[in-house]
Amino acid sequence: MCLRDLVSGGRTPTVRFSRFAVVGGLCAALSNTAVIVLVRYGYGSVVATLLAFGPVLLIGYALHSVFTFDREPSRLTFTRYALATAANLPIWMAALYAFSDVLRVSIGIVAPAATLLIFLWNYMSAKWAFIAEPGTAPEQPRNASPGELNG
């Protein structure tokens, strides 16, 4: 069993992973662009990261809900997604601060490298955020009737 199968919960893992990668790539590009621009305009990497976090969080949640996991947005999935995403924020900020601010490595190199390091965490945490655990009531897919879920 591979990592992709564990996260997908046995439901079309190739499609789910490819959609996750598309949304994750878009969010990474948005986040990196915002951080790089903000740092170049004089903000420190930590402040730039905090400013970019909220908008990218909302965009990522909306896209993962609709496109990646086909789930109705809910308080539960948003809370889980926000917690999972926030958990990688200290790692991201520490990497940016250590390599960009302290060691003076270009932010254009550090931001994408830090993004690659936290991609695995984001992928693993997506299952927890959007797919119910065994033994709990699953979130209903969008546009599904109760009869479709039981069959």
Q: Mind giving me the DSSP string for 71-115?
A: B---HHHHHHHHHHHHHHHHHHHHHHIIIIIIS---HHHHHHHHH
Task: Examine residue 104 and state whether it is found in any structural domain, yes or no.
Answer: yes
Q: What is the pLDDT of residue 9?
A: 52
Task: Examine residue 114 and state whether it is found in any structural domain, yes or no.
Answer: yes
Task: Examine residue 149 and state whether it is found in any structural domain, yes or no.
Answer: no
Kindly state the tokens that stand for 78.
């948003």
Closest CA to 114 of 124, 127, 128, 100: 100
Q: Decide which of 93 and 48 is more confident.
A: 48
Q: What is the span of the domain harbouring residue 17?
A: 12-133
Task: Examine residue 5 and state whether it is found in any structural domain, yes or no.
Answer: no
Model's pTM, two decimal places? 0.67
Task: Examine residue 150 and state whether it is found in any structural domain, yes or no.
Answer: no
Q: Which residues contact 9 (CB under 8 A, 6 or more apart)?
A: 127, 131
Task: Examine residue 73 and state whether it is found in any structural domain, yes or no.
Answer: yes
Q: Decide which of 92 and 86 is more confident.
A: 86
Query: Residue 137: which pLDDT band, with cuts at 50, 70 and 90?
Result: very low
Top-ranked range on mean pLDDT: pick from 61-65, 69-73, 98-102:
61-65
Task: Provide the domain count of the chain.
Answer: 1
Task: Examine residue 143 and state whether it is found in any structural domain, yes or no.
Answer: no
Distance CA 109, CA 57 (A): 22
Task: Examine residue 43 and state whether it is found in any structural domain, yes or no.
Answer: yes
